[in-house]
Each structure stands twice: as structure tokens, then as C-alpha cells.
Amino acid sequence: MIEIENMFEDLRRDQVGHAITALRSKKIWNLEKYELRDRLFQALERHNYSKIAGTRAQLCMSGGIGFSYLYLVPAGKKGRFSEYSRKLLRLVYYASAKNYLEIRVGEVENTQKGRCFTVFGQGDPRGYFSKVYGEAGYLVASDRAIDEMANS
């Protein structure tokens, strides 16, 4: 499981980040957005992002293709992220099916790291990206977090 205190806002200031921002800025899926998706996939491949699969709950992911956040892997982490101990990773939503989620993972520079997700309060971290980026998407947060977002 991914710990909220190790999840950070993705500032998207590198080549992959710019591709994510371009894709996420389009609201509807049209020819242009599909082309931007393909460019993002190519950028992920060029920068050697590796594949990881799991569920939305395990990976704290929702919001569709291109959603991303940074994860600072704690020392001694076991499981799928153990090889990345003490590294800052960008996790990018890549594809999904009914109960399956595929992401791409790549190491990034510390300059990409924004605010820790704990600054957004309590609740399910999968809902925080709408506060971070103002993007349309799923809001999977506690009732308290939803109330806080409505009042801010």
C-alpha cells in the first residue's frame, strides 16, 4: 500500500510532465486528445518508465489516463516498490479494465516534487488531485474532505 505521507504533488516540469499536462488539459476525447495520449505513451517509453499493475485502491489512482503523482519510496519498503527504496517516483495512470489498473513508474528529479498530499487534510488521497490541479475526474474522498472542497 502507498502511504499518504509519501505522496506528493507532481509539478510536471520535465518532458513527461509536459506531455501529461497537455493531455490532462483536454476535457473531451477527440482526435487531438488521442494524439496527445500517444505522445505521452511515447515519452514514457523513451524515459524507460516501467509497468506496474494492481487495483485503484492499492495504487491510490483514479481520474483517468495521465493522472500522476509522485511517491517517495520509504527505506525498507517491501513488495513491488522495494527496488526503488529512497527514490522519488512518478506514477502515471496508463490503462485500466474492470478491476485492473496499469501504471507506468519512473524515477524523477527532486525538482518535480510539490506539496505533500497530507496538506489537503484527511480522506482518501485519490480525491486530492482535483484540489491540486483543478482537473475534472472522480472524487473518491471522505464526506469531510468533500465538504472541505466545497467550502474552499
- Per-residue confidence of the chain (152 residues) as pLDDT tens digits? 788 889 888 889 999 999 998 998 888 999 999 999 999 999 999 999 999 998 888 888 877 898 899 999 999 888 889 999 999 999 999 998 888 899 999 999 999 998 888 877 666 555 555 555 545 333 233 333 334 434 44
Q: Is 19 left (phi over 0), alpha (psi -120 to 50) or beta?
A: alpha
Outline where the chain has alpha helix (H). 15-24, 31-46, 56-59, 129-133, 143-151
Nearest to 39 by CA among 25, 60, 52, 59: 25
User: What is the Cβ-side half-sphere exposure of residue 63, based on CA atoms within 13 angstroms?
Assistant: 31
Residue ranges covered by each domain of the chain: 4-118
pTM reported for the whole predicted model:
0.79
Query: What's the CA gap between 37 and 76, in Å, rounded?
Result: 35
